[in-house]
């Protein structure tokens, strides 16, 4: 038996605009909706991995970007 896991993420165009503030606490005008979205989907298994080949340096860069976003 091979377990295959699935994960997905949806990023929206204006999702984080309400969190940005100017030096005086001012905010920009933002649309009422979250804007256009893009969905990223992936499958992973212990036997086959992600199905892509990335170097150790690329993986460290990706993980570093994730840490900065939180």
Domain edges within the chain: 5-69
Per-residue pLDDT at 57: 92
Give the mean pLDDT of 45-70.
79
Mean pLDDT in residue range 1-17:
81
> Residue 69's pLDDT is what?
64
CA distances from 15 to 3, 35, 36, 40, 67 (A): 33, 8, 10, 16, 19
Residue 70 has pLDDT above 70, yes or no: no
What mean pLDDT comes out for the span 21-39?
81
């Amino acid at each position: 038996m091979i377990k295959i896991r699935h994960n997905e993420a949806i990023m929206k165009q204006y999702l984080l605009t309400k969190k940005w503030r100017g030096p005086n606490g001012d905010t920009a005008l933002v649309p009422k909706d979250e804007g256009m979205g893009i969905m990223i989907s992936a499958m992973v298994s212990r036997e086959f991995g992600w199905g892509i080949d990335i170097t150790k340096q690329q993986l460290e860069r990706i993980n570093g970007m994730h840490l900065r976003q939180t």
